[in-house]
Amino acid sequence: MLIRIATRKSALALWQAEHVAAALRQLDVDVELVPLSTRGDEILDRSLQKIGGKGLFIKELESAMQEGTADIAVHSMKDVPAEMPPDFCIAAMLERANHADALVCRNYDSFDELPRGALIGSSSLRRQAQLRMLRPDLVIEPLRGNVNTRLAKLEAGDYDAIILAAAGLERLGLQQHISQQFSTDEMLPAAAQGVIGIECLSDRDDLRAVLHKLEHPGTARTTIAERTIALVLQANCQSPVATYATLDGERLTVTALVALPDGSRFLRDSLEGPAAESENTGQQLAARLLEHGAAELLEQAAATDV
């Protein structure tokens, strides 16, 4: 059996595709990579919110599967919209890597050392909101591009610090750049941050049977809980929404945050439930957030010009 993997051309995307390829080869599957360029990679002078969201990183990969030039696509699950397009499914989720957000500084060793008015690079409204909740004095400016591009901009002095996903830095062997990892009390991650997912056409039962062997059950449960919250809230990958679920035996605890990008208002809540009912627990927590005004916060956030 030959499985062709559609992937973006960035170093991190290629690492993730190779990681999945290695796991498939362990199952005696032949693998071929199909690197593609996406609109999200090509348009770097505007925010994702203005050009259509992180789904722009995925559409070309899905087209390749529909056209028959690729069989599967490998994604960072935090970039995958909570509502899957018709005819597609996430066939497997690999064991979660580091979920944390990382601070990368030029001349400072920690977040507390940053001076008043320090310039931080981040285009994520989720990160912007939580940074401002911690330090309203900081100046936050957009930052686009792949990991190495962002690190180069920091090194060039464009920013005092930038925020990146720790998992991405670790996967690329760049963990030495991490000045500090934020705790979940300081900064909740994006839904499924640190999780690699494998997408294919829903009717490819042959592929789904093979890919299911790569699924990590615990990661699947926490990811379902987190992504269900985003789905119920009708949040997209750019919304200032954060969720993080953990397992303790047969119990699952999920925490979620909805905020305004300026950090002036936010809702944060947690809920525990049976691990086997992760989707239900996510639905219940999202419902509680909506009862307390989450929809209004998201409506205000959507009107923010970023």
Q: Is 79 a catalytic residue?
A: yes
Backbone angles phi, psi at 193, to 5 degrees: -60, 130
In the block, residue with structure tokens 């401002």:
132
Catalytic residue among 30, 41, 45, 79: 79
Phi then psi dihedrals of residue 54, to 5 deg: -70, -10
Q: How far apart are CA 18 and CA 288, in angstroms?
A: 40
Residues recognised as catalytic: 79
